[in-house]
Amino acid sequence: MVKSYLRYEQGAAFGVIVSGNSNIAYDSSGKHIFAPGLEKVGVWNVRQGICIKTLTPCADGYSPPVTSIAVSPSSSSSSLIATGYGDGSIRIWDSQSKICETTFYGHTGAVSVLRYNKIGDRLVSGGQDKDIILWDVERGEGIYRLRGHGNQVTDLVFLDCCKKLVSSSKDKFLKVWDLETPHCMQTISDHHSEIWSIDIDPEQRYLVSGSADLELRVYTIKHDLKACQSTSNGTEIADSGDPSPPNKWQVLKLFGEYQRKSKNRVATVRFNKSGNLLACQEAGKVVHIFNVLDEAESTRKANRRIRRIKKKKSAQGEAEVMKDDGAGEEGKGHEVMVSDVFQLFQTIRPGKKICSISFCPNPPKTSLATIALSLSDNLCVFYSLESEATKQTRAIDLHGHRSSVTSVALSSDNTVLMSTSHNAAKIWNPTNGYCLGTIDTGFTMCAFILPSCNNKFALVGTKGGTMEIIDVGSATVTEVVEAHGGSVQSIARIPNENGFVTGSSDGYVKFWEYGVKEDSKHLLVSNVRMKEMDTDVRVVSISPDAKYLLVALDTIVKVFYMDSLKLFVTLYGHKLPVLCLDVSSDGELIVTGSQDKNVKIWGLDFGDCHKSMFDHQSSVQQVQFVPNTHYFVSVGDDKQVNYWDADKFELLLTMKGHHEGVCCLAISNRGDFFVTGSHDRSIRRWDRTDEPFFLEEEREKRELEKMYESDFKDEYENNFALKEKIPAEGAVAFAGKKTKETISLTDSIVAKLEIAWEESKRRANYEAEKVSGNLVAEFQPNPFMLGLSPPDYFLHELLKVKTSDLESMLLGIPFSDALKILSFCKDVGLRPDEVEFITRVVTLLLQINCNQLISTPAVKPILTGLKEVLYPNLKAKKDIIGYNHAAMTHIKQLHDSRSNAPLPDAISKRGVGASWYGKTEEGKCKKVRTCEPTPYL
């Protein structure tokens, strides 16, 4: 009989406030902040300091980390947030409902930057694959891909005033792209090192770029007067710089350079919402805040500077004394320098390395601005910028460790979880991941919750050789015991006794007894005996029957009798130091893990090695048996969590979830879940499910996945990798890319297409036989056609494809099948409700197969028929849209002439079909008209 096993799956992940591989971002209200938490995005309430929501991708197995976050600036879609991931995917979330509305697949590397345009209907992304992709958020599709940079794209900004896009890259170039006729219209090569960040002020007067150079570079923006937009005060943005620029393609012109005092590279430059402040974050522990003066103030400052220079020259006899009226050339715009516009205001030094910054869009009235900083130690702090000083107002720090998780321990009833790090211990609820308490400790190496004291006390061993006794209920350290002369490496409980054993790097193994006095709430600990070893003790463990003591010493494990402490057997075999070991519940097997990436299974009766298994790619940090079984779990620095069968010597499952090495493990006494801690500061719970699996099926599944991934990689490199050098002016390509999902989707659509094509040929043969008089039986339609005609059936199946996957799916359609699709589109092109979708399918197929269509004369009738069918229908749709647009414009003008309230607010208040109210000369409300629904609206 084939044996089945129960599967373990990740149930919860907690302990991460903010990870350092992405940026943080405020929402439009300024009350919440979006913080990346490895593969999740946490929505934190700034005032309360709690995570109210979590945006988690619904993916099986390992999820890549979040690498970029962007919040939609549009008021109508302010709850939309875009997140980029390490695998190149982009997800659009509704932060209110926590639903992923759209998923884009376009980049082959991690997404490094995301930016929305001012309206919020376009999203641009840049990645480590050197590509820039423009996405249509409303339609959920990619528009086009821009190629031209020679290295990773680091930042992007929209120039909404002239419909341009500016990109920066590690290739030291700034590029300006025209979005209407997608091409690179300007390349700037002023920088001498990698450009890391760019940003523009809200009025789009200046663009600031930061790199590893010693200066910030400021550029003026040439505005397209035809596409000029109004600013918030109602005045149009005028062209800055010369009135007649020498080059009409020159959108950015160097205004000047601001010399920085630090030698660290610039990591981020960002303007606040009002544009009067500029934050320059360096790749270190400093953020410089600059005042950005308006045109009048900068001109006055330039005039004062010129006066001082002329007075100095006059005092030296080199020039005449300057007139008091300040007239002359001092007021000209070209005399304004960068130092006249940007003034160093304040400097923030939080003490830890800064990962990202974000300005609050709605700061309190008592301060100039509020800025949030994410730090490298899993911390988010908030600073208030005031006119005289900068002060930290609050911090989110109680929900995670400041450093790597060094150990985890579960209570005997599995209701309390304790985790430790280099400077603190935390008490958690393992069910929901809530932090119940934080205790400041030393550099903790191991932890243990005492079971016989109703789980009220816990012990932690520190690097300094002390053993700290913790009251779990009050989350305080009650006593510090000087236990060893070296670091306490391991603590093991003595079964059925009020005692435990500690092992230290000082070479001693000590036995302890503990108890609680009746008149005291403190735990009493006393050393009863000890044994000296030949070298440092790394791990100690005791067999379940308390008969044997196991001690890991460098590359060997020694087994002693507990009563006499005489040597029973020595386990030889590891080539590098043994880091972990455990004994099965029945005392028959021992499992050890080592730095040599090897997991060994031993028999405790004779000390013989049953099997050596190499599946980890790095050091094995922890191993532990599932209680009452011969299954065990191992974790290592390769980020893997492996589930083994020690009887069959087989790897059952490989669970991936952590993003850095896993260093500690704790299994519940029932074996229904276990907890792991990692260097990525996350703590993850893995739950045993009721889903059975078979070993052979799981092995075949892993082999097929590896084969499929290798085949897909080779196919992409052969078919889609660039085979020729991109020109300096850049190139345009399709936005989508092939993925596993789109390949499966392509196969499904091709299968549906074959069914519809065969059915159409059957019907054509039936009609031909009917005309010739050779008909012998009635036509029997294919039951899979759902009673539809072949074109309608194929359109019905094609409409099931997501808009974001349509382009990628059509990329995999062979040319012969593309001709069949064009034939069906010709037949269904008369349907006015689907003419837009059909036109998009036809356009994509024409772009993809352009060269083959040109060289194939037989397709001319199909293309001619498509032109005759689609053009009239598209014109009718365009007329309807134009009619409704004109009607809405008239309604808005009518409303503006009779009411002071903005039209969106008025619509939300009155509802559809309600009466409109305007103001009379006396200021009273008066009913002016009743709104009727507009057709096709």
pLDDT tens-digit map of 60-85: 667 899 999 999 987 555 688 999 99
Say what angle helices 815-828 and 860-898 make with each other, to 10 degrees: 60
pLDDT of residue 677: 95
Asked if the structure places residue 35 within a domain, the reply is yes
Is the pLDDT at 722 greater than 70, yes or no?
A: no
pLDDT tens-digit map of 505-532: 999 999 999 988 766 678 889 999 999 9
Is the pLDDT at 591 greater than 80, yes or no?
A: yes
Is the pLDDT at 332 greater than 60, yes or no?
A: no
pLDDT of residue 246: 53
pLDDT tens-digit map of 622-632: 999 999 999 99
Same domain, 686 and 754: no
Same domain, 408 and 523: yes
Which residue, 537, 567, 601, sits at the end of a domain? 537
User: DSSP string covering 400-414, please?
Assistant: S-SS---EEEE-TTS
Same domain, 696 and 643: yes
Same domain, 638 and 660: yes
pLDDT of residue 917: 39
Same domain, 500 and 620: no
Cα torsion 398, 400, 403, 408: sign: positive
Higher-confidence residue of 129 and 724: namely 129
pLDDT of residue 61: 66
Confidence of residue 776 (pLDDT cuts 50, 70, 90): low
578-583 and 589-594 beta bridge pairing: antiparallel
Cα–Cα dist 301/296, whole Å = 9
Confidence of residue 850 (pLDDT cuts 50, 70, 90): confident
Is the pLDDT at 324 greater than 80, yes or no?
A: no
> Which residues constitute the domain of residue 763?
740-875
Which residue, 706, 728, 754, sits at the end of a domain? 706
CB-based contact 503:490 (threshold 8 Å): yes
**Alpha carbon of 319 to those of 68, 307, 311: distances in Å?**
56, 12, 8
Q: Which of 408, 357, 284 lies closest to 15 in space, CA to CA?
A: 408
Is the pLDDT at 922 greater than 90, yes or no?
A: no
pLDDT of residue 775: 64
Is the pLDDT at 843 greater than 50, yes or no?
A: yes
Whether the pTM exceeds 0.75: the reply is: yes
What does the DSSP 8-state code read for residue 813? Answer: -
Asked if the structure places residue 239 within a domain, the reply is no
pLDDT tens-digit map of 280-315: 999 989 999 999 998 888 888 888 888 888 888 887
Q: Provide mean pLDDT across the span 832-842.
A: 83
Mind spelling out the 3-state secondary structure of 615-679? CCCCCEEEEEECCCCCEEEEEECCCEEEEEECCCCEEEEEEECCCCCEEEEEECCCCCEEEEEEC
pLDDT tens-digit map of 525-584: 999 999 999 999 999 999 999 999 999 999 999 999 999 999 999 999 999 999 999 999
Asked if the structure places residue 502 within a domain, the reply is yes
Which residue, 823, 844, 875, sits at the end of a domain? 875
Same domain, 37 and 1: no
Asked if the structure places residue 376 within a domain, the reply is no
The structural domain count of the chain equals 4
Asked if the structure places residue 156 within a domain, the reply is no
Asked if the structure places residue 304 within a domain, the reply is no
Asked if the structure places residue 87 within a domain, the reply is yes
Percent of the chain at pLDDT above 90? 52
Confidence of residue 725 (pLDDT cuts 50, 70, 90): low
Asked if the structure places residue 729 within a domain, the reply is no
Cα–Cα dist 499/530, whole Å = 13
pLDDT tens-digit map of 688-704: 999 898 988 888 887 87
∠ CA 898-902-905, rounded to 5°: 115
Higher-confidence residue of 123 and 779: namely 123
Confidence of residue 713 (pLDDT cuts 50, 70, 90): low
Q: Provide mean pLDDT across the span 408-424.
A: 93
CB-based contact 192:200 (threshold 8 Å): no
pLDDT tens-digit map of 224-278: 644 444 333 333 444 444 444 456 678 999 999 999 888 899 999 999 999 999 9
Same domain, 746 and 871: yes
Cα–Cα dist 893/899, whole Å = 10
Cα torsion 460, 461, 463, 468: sign: positive
Same domain, 33 and 3: no
pLDDT tens-digit map of 876-898: 888 888 999 899 988 888 888 87
CATH of the domain at 449: 2.130.10.10
Same domain, 25 and 2: no
Is the pLDDT at 720 greater than 50, yes or no?
A: no
Same domain, 3 and 40: no
CB-based contact 21:10 (threshold 8 Å): no
Is the pLDDT at 424 greater than 90, yes or no?
A: yes
Is the pLDDT at 328 greater than 50, yes or no?
A: no
Is the pLDDT at 42 greater than 50, yes or no?
A: yes
